[in-house]
């Protein structure tokens, strides 16, 4: 069955060189440790995107051109898959487009971060990572793999040296708390948000102005997003999540890339697939407006 193009119901797909957004499906599922199904996540998001409205309530990011790349071939050792993700992300950057990755397990993010870190090193521009997730993903390794989905943020901070801010975490081990301290990870865990509300200025002034947003769908509350490998109660609801994104971007005005990962579709449960697709579109809208202050 041919792959759908993101929001093809509203827009004729653009050529790669003409698109502001490159949507990159990555159906990776190699290290999931509880529920399975992330390999079906990208296709489900693309299919559900056909039901989206082009207007997100503030702007229509698709007007700037959407190109849906061929799905990354994930039938290989994880090191090879990461190289392929990095290459796909680099192609988007070379075209002057914003990479939008659809996972797949959270390990997907590392390939994109590698491409962006290499580009940042070449240009002298820094960027930070903003993570929405039920889990800290800061384990040095998990179940024998340093490339586990539970280790992706450890790779980001320890290997790539990227500043990190985490939101809505509610499941983590003691070792990950030590990693947070060692690498100065900013964190607003779910329990803190429940007690104190959403922070007005989540990121300190010294945090990089350019942001990569990674959104594991289990960062949302399990009642809203049950279709994921490890759904967890006590997460974010829709407007809370979007307000946090908006507040992280306030005054920063540059998104360098984004991903939505860990959707594991459940047959017949359309609302979860649609929620993930709408989340992708909403984040694209924030990215569009971060580059165009007149639309903010």
- Return the HEC string of the chain: CCCCCCCCCCCCCCCHHHCCEEEEEECCCCCCCCCCCHHHHHHHHHHHHHHCCCCCCCCCHHHHCEEECCCCCCCCCHHHHHHHHHHHHHHHHHCCCEEEEEECCCCHHHHHHHHHHHHHHHHCCCCEEEEECCECCCCCCECCECCCCCCHHHHHHHHCCCCEEEECCCECCHHHHHHHHHCCCEEECHHHHHHHCCCCCCCCCCCCCEEEEEEEHHHECCCCCCCECCCCCCCECHHHHHHHHHHHHCCCCEEEEEEEECECCCCCCHHHHHHHHHHHHHHHHHHHHHHCHHHC
Answer whether residue 292 shows pLDDT above 80: no
Q: Give me the mean pLDDT over the 174-178 stretch.
A: 97
The reply to whether 2 falls in a domain is no
Say what percent of the chain tops pLDDT 70. 97
Q: What is the reported pLDDT for 84?
A: 98
In a domain, 181, yes or no: yes
pLDDT recorded at residue 1? 65
Range of the domain at 164: 16-295
Confidence of residue 171 (pLDDT cuts 50, 70, 90): very high
**51-60, 152-161, 174-183, 284-293: least confident range:** 284-293
In a domain, 189, yes or no: yes
Average pLDDT of the residues in 139-164? 96
In the chain, how many domains are there?
A: 1
Does residue 11 sit within a domain? no
Which CATH number goes with the domain that contains 260?
3.40.800.10
Lowest mean pLDDT among 29-38, 66-75, 92-101, 121-130: 29-38
Average pLDDT over residues 223-250: 97
Within-domain flag for 285: yes
Check whether 295 has a pLDDT greater than 70: no
pLDDT of 38 above 70:
yes
In a domain, 10, yes or no: no
Q: Where residue 186 falls among pLDDT bands split at 50, 70, 90?
A: very high
Q: Could you tell me if residue 3 is inside a domain? A: no
Q: In this model, does residue 257 exceed pLDDT 90?
A: yes
- Decide if 291 is inside a domain: yes
The pLDDT of residue 294: 52
């Amino acid at each position: 069955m041919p792959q759908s193009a993101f929001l093809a119901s509203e827009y004729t797909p653009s050529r790669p060189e003409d698109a502001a957004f490159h949507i990159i499906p990555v159906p990776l599922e190699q290290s999931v440790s509880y529920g399975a199904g992330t390999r079906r996540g990208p296709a489900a998001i693309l299919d559900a995107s056909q039901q989206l409205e082009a207007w997100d309530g503030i702007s229509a990011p698709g007007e700037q051109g959407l190109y849906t790349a061929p799905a990354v071939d994930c039938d290989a050792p994880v090191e090879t898959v990461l190289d392929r993700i990095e290459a796909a992300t680099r192609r988007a950057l070379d075209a002057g487009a914003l990479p939008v990755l659809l996972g797949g397990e959270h390990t997907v993010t590392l390939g994109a971060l590698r491409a962006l870190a290499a580009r940042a090193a070449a240009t002298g521009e820094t960027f930070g990572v903003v993570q929405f997730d039920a889990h800290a993903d800061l384990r040095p390794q998990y179940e024998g793999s340093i490339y586990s989905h539970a280790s992706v943020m450890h790779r980001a901070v320890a290997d790539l040296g990227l500043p990190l801010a985490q939101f809505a975490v509610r499941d983590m081990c003691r070792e990950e708390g030590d990693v947070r301290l060692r690498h100065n990870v900013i964190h607003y865990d779910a329990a803190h948000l429940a007690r104190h509300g959403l922070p007005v200025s989540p990121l300190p002034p010294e945090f990089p102005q350019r942001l990569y947003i990674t959104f594991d769908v289990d960062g949302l509350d399990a009642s809203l997003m049950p279709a994921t490998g490890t759904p967890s109660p006590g997460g974010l609801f829709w407007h809370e999540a979007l307000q946090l994104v908006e507040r992280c971007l306030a005054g920063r005005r540059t998104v360098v890339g984004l991903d939505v990962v860990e959707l594991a579709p459940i047959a017949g449960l359309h609302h979860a697939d649609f929620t993930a697709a709408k989340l992708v579109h909403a984040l694209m809208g924030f990215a569009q407006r971060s580059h165009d202050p007149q639309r903010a």
